[in-house]
């Protein structure tokens, strides 16, 4: 089982719609969860992070975390063509006194104008 799983997509949504991106993780001890956006040929850029169960909103983005279900999601409201990119879910896990950031394979989002 992969440590961090995402649907590879592509997920296509019309401009102005809500895009919903999902991520599951296998390590129940994971504490921190991050969403990154990566344009083709570029490095990832941080969108937002969440530590506690529930929702966290930042502008058009809302991250949702459910630790019991080991599930984290990202909602993008009023999607724009410029949001078209690959969205990476990352999980931070402490192991033997050290910590690692594990990335999912990413979901490719296409926002159709």
- Interacting residues toward another protein by CB under 8 A: 31-32, 34, 41-46, 49, 51, 88, 90, 92-94, 98-106
Would you say 41 or 54 has its CB closer to another protein? 41
- CA dist., res. 95 & res. 92, Å (int): 10
- Closer residue to another protein in complex, CB, 25/34: 34
Return the number of the residue (54 or 113) whose C-beta is nearest another protein.
54
Q: How many CB atoms lie within 10 A of CB 16?
A: 11
> Which residue, 16 or 51, is less far from another protein as judged by CB?
51
Instruction: Give strand ranges (E) for the chain.
Output: 4-5, 11-14, 19-25, 32-38, 45-50, 54-58, 61-66, 71-76, 85-95, 98-103, 107-112
Could you tell me the smallest distance in angstroms from the CB atom of residue 17 to another protein?
A: 25
State how far the Cα of 13 lies from the Cα of 2, in Å rounded to an integer: 27
CB of 10 vs another protein, minimal distance in Å: 12
Rounded to whole angstroms, how far apart are CA atoms 57 and 95? 29
Q: To the nearest whole angstrom, how small is the minimum distance from the Cβ of residue 39 to another protein?
A: 11
């Amino acid at each position: 089982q992969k440590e961090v799983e995402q649907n590879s997509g592509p997920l296509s949504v019309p401009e102005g719609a809500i895009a919903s991106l999902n991520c599951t993780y296998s390590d129940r001890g994971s504490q921190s969860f991050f969403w990154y956006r990566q344009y083709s040929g570029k490095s990832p850029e941080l969108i937002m992070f969440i530590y506690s169960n529930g929702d966290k909103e930042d502008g058009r983005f809302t991250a949702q975390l459910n630790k019991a279900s080991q599930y984290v999601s990202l909602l993008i409201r009023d999607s724009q063509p410029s949001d078209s990119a690959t969205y990476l879910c990352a999980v931070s896990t402490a192991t033997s006194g050290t910590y690692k950031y594990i990335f999912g394979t990413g979901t490719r989002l296409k926002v159709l104008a």
